[in-house]
Amino acid sequence: MPNVLKSDFYRFATSSKLLYGLAAFVSGIAFLLVMMVRSDISLGIGASDTWIIIREIDDIIQMGIQFHNGLLGVVVAVLISVFIGQEFQWKTWQNKWVTIKSRSHIYLSKMVLSSFASAVMFLVYQLVALFGSGQMGSILTREYAFMLICGLFIYAALGTVICLIAMSVKSNVASVVMCLCYVLFIETLLFAVSNLASRSATAGRFVDWGIRHSIYGMVTVVSSVDFLPERTFGIVINALIIMALSTVIGLLIFRKHEL
């Protein structure tokens, strides 16, 4: 496991221009939004059939949390799906298999890097927004610190789910498309499923419970105006469970792949 993780990390950190290009893009977007707000310029961004109105620094911070409504979720989906999809495109799985002979280690390495990269992108966005705001004294509160912790775990869980999708699709282009669809349409899909399940009281309760404990559900809780720091522990545990479940499912699928 350490050897394959080291190899993947080296490739990810030194050979991937996409990583640094997207990190610079995220930083630039965050800085641009902050400068617009500081110049009293309001902005409306349409996503997932909703509009995000950015008038204050808090709106920029909240947009970073809401992966399905902002650019950050798209960036994470593209970064991870392309990184994993290139393994299928270049047919390099065979080399890893001959050297390592452990599909579990191969998958776990990709999962760890995906989770880490997703959380880092979120952190980069938030730090640029924080330091560029000129309001660090008022933003750096206990509530903000706990929200940041929740956001890191939410994006770490998002990274494992994106990894699951990308590793399950044996095509570079198809993995990018499916990961983008997940990020952009997950809210619409869950809304549709909830409406269908509402015809049955039992099914409705089950689906509502699932939505509340999904990544989207966690985002909804953290983004709400009545978010309390006391909920952080529950968010962290929920995110860890999602990471564990997606990893187990991903391992079961990847073990059946023909490399």
Q: Which two tokens stand for residue 238?
A: 């929920």
Whole-angstrom Cα distance, residue 51 to residue 46? 4
pLDDT attached to residue 247: 95
Whole-model pTM: value is 0.91
Amino acid found at 237:
I
Mean pLDDT of 65-86: 89
pLDDT at 94 over 70: no
Residue 246: which residues within 8 A CB-CB, separation 6 or more? 157, 160, 161, 163, 164
- Give the up-direction half-sphere exposure of residue 159: CA atoms within 13 A in the CB hemisphere: 25
| Residue 225 to residues 71, 195, 205, 232, 243, Cα–Cα distance (Å) | 22, 25, 24, 15, 26
Confidence of residue 4 (pLDDT cuts 50, 70, 90): confident
Amino acid at 155: Y
More confident: 136 or 165: 165
Contact between 181 and 133 under an 8 Å Cβ cutoff? The reply is: no
Q: Sign of the CA dihedral 13, 18, 21, 27?
A: negative
Encode pLDDT of 244-256 as tens digits. 999 999 999 988 8
What is the pLDDT, as a whole number, of residue 243? 97
**Where residue 62 falls among pLDDT bands split at 50, 70, 90?**
confident
Whether 14 has a pLDDT exceeding 80, the answer reads no
Q: Quick count: other Cβ atoms within 10 Å of Cβ 24?
A: 11
Q: What is the pLDDT of residues 175-184, one digit of tens each?
A: 999 999 999 9
* Closest C-alpha among 194, 173, 143, 207 to residue 81: 173
**Once rounded to an integer, what is the mean pLDDT over residues 15-39?**
87
pLDDT at res. 96: 66
Q: Is pLDDT at 46 greater than 70 in this prediction?
A: no
Q: What are phi and psi of 66, to 5 degrees?
A: -80, 80
Q: Is 47 helix (H, G, I), strand (E, B) or coil?
A: strand
DSSP assignment of 164-202: HHHHHS--HHHHHHHHHHHHHHHHHHHHHHHHHHTTSHH
Q: Rounded distance, CA 25 to CA 23, Å?
A: 5
pLDDT at res. 38 = 81
259 confidence band (pLDDT: 50, 70, 90): low
The pLDDT tens digits for 187-245 are: 889 988 888 888 887 888 899 999 999 999 999 999 887 888 889 999 999 999 999 99
Does residue 49 carry a pLDDT above 70?
no
Q: Residues 162-166: what's their mean pLDDT? A: 95
Provide mean pLDDT across the span 110-121: 94
Strands (DSSP E) contained in the chain are 43-47, 50-54
